[in-house]
Amino acid sequence: MSLPRTLLLACCVVALCGFAQKPKLGVRFHVEATGPAGGSFTLPAKFVNPPREGHIESVPFASERNLVAIQPVVNADSSLGCVFKLDQSGALALRTVSTERRGASVVGFISTKGGTHQLLDLPVDKPILDGLIYIPRGLSNGEVEMLRKLYPTMQPSPQSAPQSSPQRKAD
- How far is residue 131's CA from residue 111's CA, in Å, rounded to a whole number? 21
CATH topology of domain 23-150: Gyrase A; domain 2 (3.30.1360)
Residue 85 confidence (pLDDT): 96
Nearest to 109 by CA among 52, 50, 64: 64
Residue 135 confidence (pLDDT): 92
Phi and psi torsions of 30, nearest 5°: -115, 160
The full set of domain ranges for the chain reads 23-150
Find the mean pLDDT for residues 5-14: 60
Q: What is the DSSP string of 69-127?
A: EEEEEE-TTS-EEEEEEE-HHHHHHHHHHHHHTTTSEEEEEEEETTEEEEEEEEE--S-
Mean pLDDT of the chain: 82
Q: Which of 57-66, 99-108, 109-118, 153-162 has the lowest mean pLDDT?
A: 153-162
